[in-house]
Amino acid sequence: MKLKDEEIVNLFANPQTVEKGLRAMMDAYQSRLYWHIRRLIVDHDGAQDVLQDTFIKAYQNIHQFKNDSKLYTWLYRIATNEALQALNKMNRMKKTDEDAEYHMQNLVADNAGQDAEEIQVFLAKAIQMLPEKQKLVFNMRYYDDLPYEEISKILDMSVGTCKTNYHYAKDKVENYIKDNYSQEF
């Protein structure tokens, strides 16, 4: 049985139930946060590392959580920041085996002959080409079906900016698919 956000936060308030609160928070949000992070990081192991860092940071800073937003909004914001830090670190390292294009090409080769999976991989490839803010907004809106108001809180940008970023991202993804899908498959 999953606990409500306020019940989870209340568990953290009592030193004797902190561990139970952490487990309840992980049970409630681990899957959703993993897939949010995975769409940004692409690599499973990297996404798992970022997810772990997200929960550690949430545990360390739960006292800063204000009930002016939902717990998952706060967690998504932490996950997004952790994912961006991981991406920046990967970009600084400039290792070719961690390059998103390299991963996408390998995924396409590994999934050849599986139409549904090919399409998903191709879509992921198109999304990886987006600028960072557009990629974040697109993933949260398209995959997580978050309302613009929640995305706005997570990314600390106006609702209008979120809508604009999503619109541009959607157009770029559609154009990429129209221009490239038939050539690759």
The pair of structure tokens assigned to 11 is 């568990």
CATH topology for 1-95 is: Rna Polymerase Sigma Factor; Chain: A (1.10.1740)
Q: How confident is the model at residue 100 (pLDDT cuts 50, 70, 90)?
A: very low
CATH topology for 99-185 is: Arc Repressor Mutant, subunit A (1.10.10)
Secondary structure of the chain: what % helix, strand, coil (to 5)?
Answer: 85, 0, 15
CA distance 67 to 9: 9
Q: How many helices (H) and strands (E) in the chain? A: 9, 0
Contact between 111 and 121 (Cβ < 8 Å): yes
- Domain 99-185 in the same topology as domain 1-95: no
Higher pLDDT, 29 or 116: 29
Who's near 124: CB < 8 A, 6+ residues apart? 39, 42, 104, 107
Who's near 37: CB < 8 A, 6+ residues apart? 47, 50, 51, 54, 79, 82, 83
Q: pTM score, two decimals? A: 0.62
CA distance 9 to 16: 13
The pair of structure tokens assigned to 58 is 């949430």
The pair of structure tokens assigned to 159 is 């609702």
Q: What's the one-letter identity of residue 26?
A: M
CA distance 55 to 4: 17
The pair of structure tokens assigned to 17 is 């139930």
Q: How confident is the model at residue 50 (pLDDT cuts 50, 70, 90)?
A: very high
CA distance 170 to 35: 19
User: Which pLDDT tens digit goes with each residue over 118-165?
Assistant: 777 778 888 999 999 999 999 998 888 899 999 999 999 998 899 999
Q: Where are the chain's structural domains? A: 1-95, 99-185
pLDDT of residue 69: 84
